[in-house]
Each structure stands twice: as C-alpha cells, then as structure tokens.
Structure 1
C-alpha cells in the first residue's frame, strides 16, 4: 500500500516539512484549512492538480469526520502511500492536540483565558480573508457554466437559509449532475475537472499524475485487511483502557461515546457540537452549562479541526471525575482517549476508500455527478465562510425564523471594529503587498494581541 520510491521526486522527509507548515497554519475551521491546502499544494508547490484536489475533496466531504484532516490524509496517501497518509493526517492533528491540551489544563486550573484569547484575537481576521479568497479562487476555476453557478447557489441557500442536512445537499447535487449529464453532457463534461484519468495540461503541471500516484488495485482481500487492521487499531487501545480502569469508568464512557460520534459527524464539527454539548452537560455531567462555548472558543483559536474540542470535553470530564488517578493524569488520559476515538476512524475511511475513489476518476458515467458535487462544495465553503465572518466581526449573532427559513442576523451594535480593521489589514497584506500567509498571520496576531491588552 506504499510507494517506496515515489517517481514524483518528493521525499517523505521533504513532504513532512510542508505538512508541518500546513498544520501549524491550519486556523479557521474547515473552510480556512481547505483554502490553505489549496494555496500551498495546488498553487504554490504544484504537487497536485486542481482536478485531483477537488476529486479528493468531494470524497472527503461525503465522509463522517473533519473533511480537511481527511483531505490531508488522502493527498498524503496519494504522494507516499500509507506512510504518507499517516504522516499528513497525523501532523494535521498534532498542533491542535498540543495547543488545546495546554489550554485545557490552563482553563481547568485558572478558569481564565483572557491572555490566551488576546494572543489569538488577530488570527481570526487573517483567516477570514484567506477563507474568502478560497471561495473566489476555487469558484473561478470550477464554475464554468451558469448551471454550475446555480448548483453552488442552491447549495448555499439550502445550508444557510434552510439548514438542510449537509449529506442531503451533496447527495442531491450528485444526483442532479448524474441526471443532468444525460440531458446536457456538455454542461457537466469536465466542468469541474473530472473525467477520464488522462493527463491533460492541468494534470501534467502537477507532480501527482496517473503515473506517479500509488498503484493500488482495489480488492475484497485488501479491503478486508485494511478494515481488520483499522478496527483493531481503533478499538484495541480503547478496550485496554476499559479493561484496566473499569467498564463503568469515565474513560470507557468517553471511549464509547466519541467512537459513536465519529461515525455520525457528517457535515463537519458544527453539525454535531450541539449534540456533544447536550450529552456532556445533561447526560454525563462532564461539563457545566456554558462551558462548551468556552471550549469552542479555544478550539476556534488553535490550529487543526474544530472537532478537536472533544479533547477539551474529555479532559474536563476526567479532571473532575478522575476515578483513582490524579486530576491532571486523568484529564490527560481522557484527552488521548477522546482524540484517538475521534480520529482513527478518519484514517480508516481514507485507506479503505481512496483506491476505489481513484479508480472512479476514469469512470465517465460519474463525471457529471462529481462535477455537480464540486460546484456544490463552492456553496458549502461560502456558507462556512459567511458563518465564520459573522462570528468574527460581530459579538452577537441571533437566529431568526420565518416559517422554514432560518437566518443568522448579526446584532449591528455589537460590531467589532477592531476585527474589521484587522481584516482590512490582512487583505492588504495578502493581496496588495503579497506578504504570504504566515507573515500575514504573524502580523495580525501581534496587532490583535496588542489591541486586546491595551483595552484591559
């Protein structure tokens, strides 16, 4: 399942440096993380073509779990096989795991995150600009026909105004593309970069081609081996924790709960956080009312997937109910348990399904469906971008309902002018002065921290 000597010429150690850089900058939730990977892997490094990037993204958007982390795993697998997938996906998790672990300890110990929030305040403004730029760039490259603009718009409206279930939006888009390609094949043919797995201009400019990607032949035997190893890796350590500390312990309850959550988190973290909060507060007593919002704030200002907030939930639950361990040791163990149960399935989905998804690149019958899904993904990212903008630039956002229509309306009196100014600064730094992502993030972090501390 690995490519010992990849013919594209990028060594595993060289890739590790780039994946570490992406991981360290992966702020802003899935939209920001997808935008960052697109900028680095497609535009800057040219490791992967637009077509392959979107093809992988389409698959990851259909899976339970954090799509950006799974996208990193998929592309890492494309470049260096299983080792590359483990490296890319693992590094994507590591900075957030370390950062949120430290913040959870500080929160449990001091219950004060003012200084920490000051440090991260400026990051959100820069991430907002990166996310909006991703919508522009991906949209301009994929929406090549008015029908596809309509698909993207319909996906945005369904999510933002009607709160449609995310998987339903993707399935409907795929069905529309599949049927539409039979009526007007010229609209959907290769519009989203999909089609027969042949080397076109965009493909040959990238390092990953049909010749340099891992040559894995899907089979029932391989699928069975991957599934067996994946399930053993997923549940083996968790069962050991339950056997050692008790099946009624907080650690086993968290292992079972977060494992269950890992297979139902379609549509990203926001789709499941309300359920996690309700269970953690009302059923298990791991959190106090309102603490989920504090954890969400911490998770939003650290790199990595937003679903990493489960680490904070697990830590506080075991910190308060250590059951034979010290509070700190119990909290740290629960952090690992929650993280393990959440992310190991993500690797399993990729290693199990990626060879089949790569084979489907050459299936012309699915080209229309995948093209429509690609267009819908633009609407999905726009929805996430607008949500992020509202919650970055305004202190309070209210939900309003008019029949089936749901609208998030900002309270204009709570506009955060400092965040608006920082967003403008970030836009000028990125687009006018071409500073690059990392210097822009550093600049807005320093300015934002200075502003927050001066207000105290």
Structure 2
C-alpha cells in the first residue's frame, strides 16, 4: 500500500501476536525488540520508517509500544494492518491479566507475585537498559568526540530529556515538541518561516467474572478513555494518573491492590498499560476489564491511523526530518530516564543489582538466550532469595 511489501499481512500479525505473548520488559524493551526484529534482522521496515513511527507514537497520546505497533501495521497494509497488529499485540497480555485477576479474586492477594517480581523486576532493568543503549546508538549516535561534534544539539536534547524524566518521573510532551521545533529551525528551517506575515478460565461465579455494576462500568469507561486520551508516553507515564483516579478519587482499589496491579503488568508480556485490564477486572469483573482496555487503547489507535497518512507524506520534507530527529533524540532520552526511574524502584539491594547486571551481560554475551528464558530464571531466583532472607 505505502511502499513495497516485504512481508504478508499474516506474517506481521503473527509477529505482533508473538511479541504480545513473549515480549517482556515494558515499552523501552518492546520498541527495542521491534527495531531489532523488523529493521535489523528481517528488514521489513527501513530505519526511516521506524523513526517516523516512533516519533508519531510519542506525539500522540496513549501507550508508546502499542502505538508504534499500530503504526508499523499501517505502513504497508493501512487500516486493516493497523487493526490486526494492534489486536494481536494487546490480546495475549489482556487474556493473561484477566486470568490473573480471577486468581487474585480467589486467593485474595499476591504476596507470592511480589516475590517473583523481586527477581523479575531486576532482570527487566538489565533487558531494557540494553534496549535503551541500542536505541541511543541508532538514533543519537555513539558516545565519542566525533558524534558529540556532529550531533551536539541532539545530545543536549537527549541528556535534557533524561534529566527531566528522572526528576518528574513523567515524559513531557512539550519538551519533545520543543526539541523538534528547535532542531528544525537550526538544521532546516522551512521556507515559510522567512515569508512576511505568516506565524508557526476458573470458577467464574467465585471470581466475579460476570459481576458488574452498570454505573461503575460507565465510570470505568469514562476514566480510562480520559487516561488513553490525555496521557502521553510509555506505561510509566500512565501509572501516576491511574493511581490518582483508581485509589484516591474513586477508591476502587487499595494501595496494596494497586501495587499488585502494577506488578502484574510488569511480569506479564506486552504493553505495561495492559494493567488497566487487571484493574478493570478487580473493579467490575470481565466487562470492567474489557471496557477499561478498550477505552484506553481506542484513542491511541484512532490518533495513529488518522495521523499516519499525513505524517508519512510530509516526512520526506527536510524540515520535517529535522523536526523528527529532534523529537527522536528527546524521546530516546526520556526512555533512558524511564529506565533510571524504574531501576530506582526495582534495584533495592545487592541481590537485585546482581540480577540486573547479570541479565544485561547475559543478553550481550549469550546470543541464543531469549528474554522469556531470562525472565523465568529471574523469577525462580527471586522466590528462592526471598525464602532465604
């Protein structure tokens, strides 16, 4: 549709189904997997197409990894491709969090899951750190004198985005747009700038599977629609927003239950934002989970498929390319900042630090090692360590 197809619609849908099933590590790792698999190894996408998708995904509200997946489906197969890749990517983790919600309702807590997350969270830091490093090299450049001389402004954007993300623990959309505009004006100002006068499966009954309240269902729909529409960036950015509404405003969950919900999101594959399905299930059963997930992901799908055709057409323009390069540098910096923020919550002692370091080194030096295998080992280590201490 928009270029020569190097793959079939079935192949790209199956890829995202597998990524949604086995892709651990949150948004930083997931966008890294997409680059590694689709750009470097399979060569289904060009570097330019990937960068365009990453920039558009960051500009539009909603979960970063899901938006990038939707855009990738759109690149060669339009609306149908975007729909299939989006569903394939989100559906596996949605099913998992609903099942975990059912287990939670039966057993009333997730202390064992926190023990698992003790090891898994540390391993995830190692995984996403490697992904963030690779994205930095690709988008900003290697950290050497030559790169600093040539891309000094991109490095400033990159470091600034890291600092802002670490300090605020959120990704700031205005910084991304500002970096894009500044880089465009410096590298390739558009002609109109100079023109005068123009400005810029359990016992369903016991787990509450079909239990729901119509009033609460509407509240869930409106709240998560707002979350999906107005929260930009990765799953990290949406967590404070969800906490304020779910715990403080509506009192749907307790503090411990909310922490459990975040833990579920981190130890399941696919987008971190799928925690909304778990929260929706605890609040209002299966219908609550479905409405929460649908309301959260619909805005990002609509923004992506509406903006993608226009974004693709104008992306060849030199000024737009400079704008995208500036945004991309800030985006990658924000993702690195997110790694630091997550690490601060996951690396809490010497064992977790060792697990994180060993995970990163393992991915570098053991080429046949897959992320799910690493996550499984880390989960077992976490349980064993917690039993001993």
**1:382 Cα deviation (Å)?**
0.8
The 3-state SS of whatever aligns with 1:140 is helix
Distance 2:283 2:379 in 1: 34
Shift of 1:305: 2.0
The TM-score, its normalising length taken from structure 1, stands at 0.72
Paired with 2:168 and 2:114, the residues of 1 have a C-alpha distance of 32
For residues 324 and 318 of structure 2, the distance between their equivalents in structure 1, rounded to whole angstroms, comes to 10
Question: How far apart, CA to CA, are the structure 2 residues paired with 1:274 and 1:286?
Answer: 15
1:11-410 alignment, distance < 5 Å = 11-119=8-116, 121-143=118-140, 144=147, 145-161=151-167, 166-182=172-188, 249-318=215-284, 331-394=285-348
Q: CA-to-partner distance for each residue in 1:139-172, whole Å, 9 max, x for gaps? A: 2222242222122112212222356761111011
Asked whether the 8 Å contact 1:430–1:440 carries over to 2, the reply is no
2:276, 2:293 within 8 Å by CA — same for their partners in 1?
yes
Q: Indicate conservation of the 8 Å contact 1:32/1:128, yes or no.
A: no
- Are the counterparts in 2 of residues 426 and 444 from structure 1 also a CA contact under 8 Å? no
Contact kept in structure 1, 2:188 and 2:318, CA below 8 Å: no
Distance 1:157 1:115, change over 3 A: closer
Q: Measure the CA separation in 1 of the matches of 2:361 and 2:307.
A: 41
Q: Residues 4-46 of structure 1, C-alpha deviation per residue, up to 9 Å, x if partnerless?
A: xx84342222223322221123222211211121221122211
Greater Rg over alpha carbons, structure: 1
Seen in structure 2, the aligned counterparts of structure 1 residues 163 and 365 have a Cα distance that, compared at 3 Å, is same
Q: Distance in 2 between matches of 1:76 and 1:387?
A: 30
Q: Is the 8 A contact 2:24 2:30 kept in 1?
A: yes
Whether the 8 Å contact between 1:30 and 1:68 is mirrored in structure 2 is yes
2:188/2:319 contact within 8 Å kept? no
* Post-superposition offset of 1:334: 0.8
* Matched position secondary structure for 1:389: helix
Structure 1 counterpart of 2:206: none
Determine if contact 2:23/2:372 at 8 Å carries over to the other structure.
no
Q: Give 1 or 2: higher helix fraction.
A: 2
Question: Equivalents in 2 of 1:303, 1:338: separation in Å?
Answer: 18
Q: Corresponding residue for 1:441?
A: 374
Deviation at 1:355, TM superposition (A): 0.5
Indicate the SS of the match to 1:8. Answer: coil
Taking a change above 3 Å as real, the CA distance of residues 273 and 449 of structure 1, as seen in their structure-2 partners, is closer
Separation in 2, partners of 1:289, 1:119: 19
Instruction: Quote the residue 2:353 is aligned against.
Output: 420
Alpha-carbon shift at residue 315 of structure 1 (Å): 1.8
Whole-Å Cα distance in 2 between the matches of residues 450 and 264 of structure 1? 38
**Which structure exhibits the higher relative contact order, with contacts defined as CA atoms closer than 8 Å and separated by 6 or more residues?**
2
In structure 2, distance between residues paired with 1:440 and 1:43: 22
* Inter-partner Cα distance in structure 2 for 1:120 and 1:127: 10
Which residue does 2:207 correspond to in 1?
none
TM-score for both structures, normalised by structure 2? 0.84
Distance across 2 between alignment mates of 1:439 and 1:134: 15
Kindly report the root-mean-square deviation, in angstroms, between the aligned alpha carbons of the 2 structures.
Answer: 2.5
Q: Which sections of structure 2, spanning at least 5 residues, go unmatched?
A: 141-146, 190-211
SS in 1 for 2:312: helix
TM-superposed deviation, 1:264 = 0.8
Shift of 1:117: 4.1
Change (3 A) 1:440 1:140: same
- Structure 1 unmatched ranges of 5 or more: 184-244, 319-330, 395-414
